[in-house]
Amino acid sequence: MFEQLGLIGCGLMGGSFALALKNAGLVQRVVGFSPSAATLQKALQLGVIDAPAASPEQAACGADIVLVAVPVSATEATLQWIAPAVTKQMLIMDVGSTKADVLAAGQRALGERIGSFVPAHPIGGKEKAGVEHADTKLYQGCQVILTPTAETLDPQRQQALTVWQALGCKVVQMSPEAHDAAFAAVSHFPHLLAFALMNAVTGQPQGQEFLSLAGPGFRDFTRIAASDPKVWRDILLSNCQQLLVQSQHLQTQLQAFEALMVQGDGAALEALIARASSARSQWHLKQHHHPKPAC
Amino acid sequence: MFEQLGLIGCGLMGGSFALALKNAGLVQRVVGFSPSAATLQKALQLGVIDAPAASPEQAACGADIVLVAVPVSATEATLQWIAPAVTKQMLIMDVGSTKADVLAAGQRALGERIGSFVPAHPIGGKEKAGVEHADTKLYQGCQVILTPTAETLDPQRQQALTVWQALGCKVVQMSPEAHDAAFAAVSHFPHLLAFALMNAVTGQPQGQEFLSLAGPGFRDFTRIAASDPKVWRDILLSNCQQLLVQSQHLQTQLQAFEALMVQGDGAALEALIARASSARSQWHLKQHHHPKPAC
């Protein structure tokens, strides 16, 4: 399907994409760039990339597919680097968790070449960052959101759809704004809450004693708090407005619970819990092809 | 070890205790009571109990060990029922998630027989309630908190320790107040947050669309929101004061995050996330004897 993947950023997300593409026989050669020489060396040793590039531009040069897998805040600078190498035939994608800011960065950096860029957000990942955790099957069975616009070229839009589907993903297309609102609600804000809860517990004098008593509920509730600080710094900054909206919704609900607790209104409290419990029981993770716990 | 277990409440927690005791050869006979005739019938069919009792008192009468496995709010009434059958040799335990209120209920209901009562909180469970989900191994590898007091008789305190250890549990003893403060932080408040978040998401006009895009992070974060409404109504009411304290800690931390997001202070934001991420990465669920995912 592709001759050369230019991989810019050889971490968990980029490395897993390269491995999956190679494993599926969808690419002949991967040229990778990382600002860290050690990471580049590891990526070579692990077979994630076939050749190292000295710059993002060199990784993109001659590639027919380019994946920009860097923290969201580095997207614009990366796209500026590769802009001279971008052709009308090239497919460029990212893997960032926010999309309105990524699209704006793309428009500034790529100008009239923006048609080659299809912003992508694969809903997967692990808490363990780094190319050493790259996994051929990371994206298998996951959802991938694409946010093409009216400027996106048709062949690239189609190629983006096809390549993620070939990796076993379910592809959903929507506007960048709709994406950011939805993911603020179901991903970014839960992460923010998990970070805040961990700091709230450990900030108390008896925090460590409390933690030693925590059980499986706490384990699962706080799992996402172990996520990568740089990646999440960028997401919280990029999607700030939608996060504040979600925070207000949560605080309103929390206050409703607290008022009923203080009033001792058991019947109304039970109804609120039943609403949450029923909604959660009815919800199931959408999985495609290969159900697996990590996705 | 015991001749007869009087099981009052034949749900997930009580049923699993009965099965585990029988499976380990620690009891010869289980007499069970449930206010629901259908539940009692199921418990008989599943071999959870050997004989049904017509009242809590009848279940306790002649037993050398009694487990009160009812919603926390029903503890006092249940202990009042069985009070006439309580002997100085009998071990009485509960499985409630709050302990100060349970102890107070025990003191009111049992009076001078309070020495036979050892309040217990096994840290386990599932989101699926009901005797049909009772599981011999539910408690294996879990922590159990016991909150005996100066009034507790020594033989009962020792028996309680021994029986939970025999089921593969790690037993920790502490005061009821210390228990309630710790579990507000690491269990009760996370549940409250998960309930509030589910209601916040589903209460928005696009809630169902948002939910359809949610991934594995959301799945794990909200797992505990599917918990039993009656059980959690009682816990939220019983531990109200400690929950309000934890809610204040969380809101303070959340506001710190939001202020940095609005200011665009990436360095300070990254430091806050790194603190949470590092604390969560270093924390591990304490498991005893038999590590298993459900505990």
pLDDT tens digit sequence for A193-217: 999 999 999 999 999 999 999 998 9
How many residues does this entry show for chain A? Answer: 295
Confidence at residue B288, expressed as pLDDT on a 0 to 100 scale: 53
Nearest-angstrom CA–CA distance, B167 and B24: 7
Q: Any alpha helices (H) in chain A, and if so which ranges?
A: 12-23, 37-45, 56-60, 75-82, 100-110, 154-166, 176-183, 189-202, 207-212, 216-221, 229-238, 240-263, 266-282
Nearest-angstrom CA–CA distance, A287 and B162: 45
Judge contact between B218 and A190, C-beta under 8 A.
Answer: yes
Task: For chains A and B, count residue pairs whose Cβ atoms are closer than 8 Å.
Answer: 301
Q: Chain B: give the shortest CA distance to residue A238, in Å.
A: 9
Q: Chain A: give the shortest CA distance to residue B51, in Å.
A: 32
Long-range contacts of B72-75 (CB under 8 A, 24+ apart): B72/B96, B72/B97, B72/B98, B72/B101, B72/B102, B72/B231, B72/B234, B72/B235, B72/B238, B73/A266, B73/B233, B73/B234, B73/B237, B73/B238, B74/B9, B75/B101, B75/B102, B75/B105, B75/B106
Q: Chain B: give the shortest CA distance to residue A250, in Å.
A: 5
ipTM (interface pTM):
0.86
| Structure confidence by residue, pLDDT tens digits, A105-133 | 999 999 999 999 999 999 876 667 789 99
Look up residue A243 and give its two tokens. Answer: 């996060």
List, in order, residues 6 or more apart from A138 with CB less than 8 Å away. A12, A13, A16, A20, A124, A125, A126, A294
- Could you tell me which of B202, B246, B260, B271 has the C-alpha nearest to residue A246? B202
Look up residue B108 and give its two tokens. Answer: 């009111």
Instruction: Give the one of B190, B226, B254 whose C-beta lies nearest to A277's C-beta.
Output: B226
Q: What is the pTM of this model?
A: 0.86
Name the strands in the sheet holding B91-94, side by side, starting at the edge strand that comes first in the sequence. Answer: B51-52, B27-33, B2-8, B65-68, B91-94, B117-118
| Structure confidence by residue, pLDDT tens digits, B261-277 | 999 999 999 999 999 99
- Could you tell me which of A281, A280, A181 has the C-alpha nearest to residue A239? A181
Q: Which residues of A touch B240 (CB under 8 A)?
A: 261-262
Domain A179-282: CATH architecture, name and number where available: Orthogonal Bundle (1.10)
Look up residue A167 and give its two tokens. Answer: 């990796």
For residue A178, give the chain B residue with the closest CA.
B210
Name the 3-class secondary structure at A84.
Answer: helix
Q: In this structure, what are the phi and psi dihedrals at residue B78, rounded to the nearest 5 degrees?
A: -65, -45
Contact A195 B276 (CB under 8 A): yes
| Structure confidence by residue, pLDDT tens digits, B90-122 | 999 999 999 999 999 999 999 999 999 999 999
Instruction: Give the one of A198, A256, A286 whose C-beta lies nearest to B280's C-beta.
Output: A198
Place of tokens 């897998």: A69
Confidence at residue B173, expressed as pLDDT on a 0 to 100 scale: 97
Judge contact between B285 and A216, C-beta under 8 A.
Answer: yes
Nearest-angstrom CA–CA distance, B226 and A278: 7
Average pLDDT for runs of 10 along chain B of length 295: 97 96 97 97 97 97 97 94 96 96 96 97 80 93 95 98 97 96 97 98 97 94 94 95 98 98 98 98 75 42
What integer is the mean pLDDT of A162-175? 96
AA letter at A50: D
Average model confidence (pLDDT) for chain A?
Answer: 94
CATH class label, B2-174: alpha beta
Contact B225 A143 (CB under 8 A): no
Domain residue extents for chain A: 2-174, 179-282
Confidence at residue A44, expressed as pLDDT on a 0 to 100 scale: 97
Q: Chain B: give the shortest CA distance to residue A36, in Å.
A: 20
CA-to-CA dists, residue B227 to A267, A281, B214, angstroms: 16, 9, 19
